[in-house]
Amino acid sequence: MSLTYHRPKTLPEAVELARTADIALAGGALTFGGLDVPYSSFVDLQDVPELNRFDVGEHRAIIGSNIMLSELLKIEWLPSAMRRALTRAIPPNILNRTSVGESFKQHDHPLLREWMAVCTTIEVQIQRSPVLPNQIPWMNARAIMNADDVETSFLTCFVFSRRQENEHLVGLAHVSRTPTDAAIVCVSAPVHVSSNGSNKIILPGSMMLAGVSSQTFIDIRVEDYGNHIPLLSDVISSYQHAIDEQIESYSDHIASANYRRAMAKVCAKRALMDCAAQLGLT
C-alpha cells in the first residue's frame, strides 16, 4: 500500500488533515519508520508547537503529547504514583521513545498498564466531579477531536497540578512475576483528604483495576458515604466487597482466574494503604 506522508506545522493544519479519511496519527511517535502501517495517509505531529509544550511551574505542569515519557521524570514534584508507574517496569528504550500521546493510544500494552491505570483513574475522577475540570488538582487531558473516533483523535496536551493538602491523590499497587515484570494485576485508587482536619480518608467514588479480565480497565465504584467519614478499614472492606460484586469473570491468561480474583482484592487494599502512607496515616 502506498503511503502519503504529511508533516503539519500548525495545530489547525493537523486537525484538518485528521479529518481526512484513512489517517493514522503519530501521536508524537518517532518510531513508525519502516512499519507496515495499514493506512494510506500518515500525519507526523513532531513539528506542531502546541504538542511540544513542556511547561513546568512550581504548582502546575502542561505537557504536550509529543513529549517522551522519560521527560516527565524531570518534574521534581511528579506525583509518586505517576513516577512509580513510569519507572517500575517500563524499560528505558520504551520510556525514551514513547511519547505521552502515543502512550494514550497504547493503553492496553502490558508495560504501560500501571501508567494508564493512574491516568484513567484521574480522568474518571474529573468526569464525575461536581466542580469544573480546571478546579480539579492533578490532571486535565485536553483532546481536540472526538475521543470516540480513535483514528482521528489525538491528545494535544495534559495538565496536572501539584497536590496540596485536602486535595485528590492516587495510590498504586500491583502484582507481577518479578519486581520489574509487567503487572499481572494492578489497581489505581483515588482518595481525598478530609477537609475538616480529622486526617481520615473519604471516598471520591471509583477505583481502576487492570489485568483482571479481557477488559483493559474495570471501574469499581462504591456507594457514597455522604457526610459520614469512614475509617480506612471501612474503605478497604467496601472496595473489596465491590470487587466481588461487580467483576463477573476473570482472565486465566498467564495467571489463573482464582489468582487474579484474590490479587485484585489484595491490590485494592495495598493501593489504599499507599494513599494512607502518602497522607502520613501509617
pLDDT at 135 over 50: no
- Domain contains 179: yes
Specify if 142 maps to a domain: no
pLDDT > 70? residue 27: no
Q: Is residue 158 part of a domain?
A: no
C-alpha cell at 145: 477531536
pLDDT in tens, 150-187: 334 456 666 666 665 545 678 899 999 888 899 999 99
Q: Count CB neighbours of 207 within 10 A.
A: 31
Inside any domain, residue 194: yes
Asked if residue 210 belongs to a domain, the reply is: yes
For residues 97 and 141, give the distance between their C-alpha atoms in angstroms, rounded to a whole number: 21
Please report the pLDDT score of residue 72 as a whole number: 93
CATH code of the domain in which 210 resides: 3.30.390.50
131 assigned to some structural domain: no
Q: Let me know if residue 109 belongs to a domain.
A: no
Question: How many structural domains is the chain composed of?
Answer: 1
* Predicted pLDDT at 205: 62
The range of the structural domain enclosing residue 264 comes to: 168-282
Per-residue pLDDT tens for 36-62? 656 677 778 888 888 888 988 887 788
The residue whose grid cell reads 494492578 is 186
Query: Is residue 278 a part of any domain in this protein?
Result: yes
**Residue 47, pLDDT score:** 87
Cell of 115: 501508567
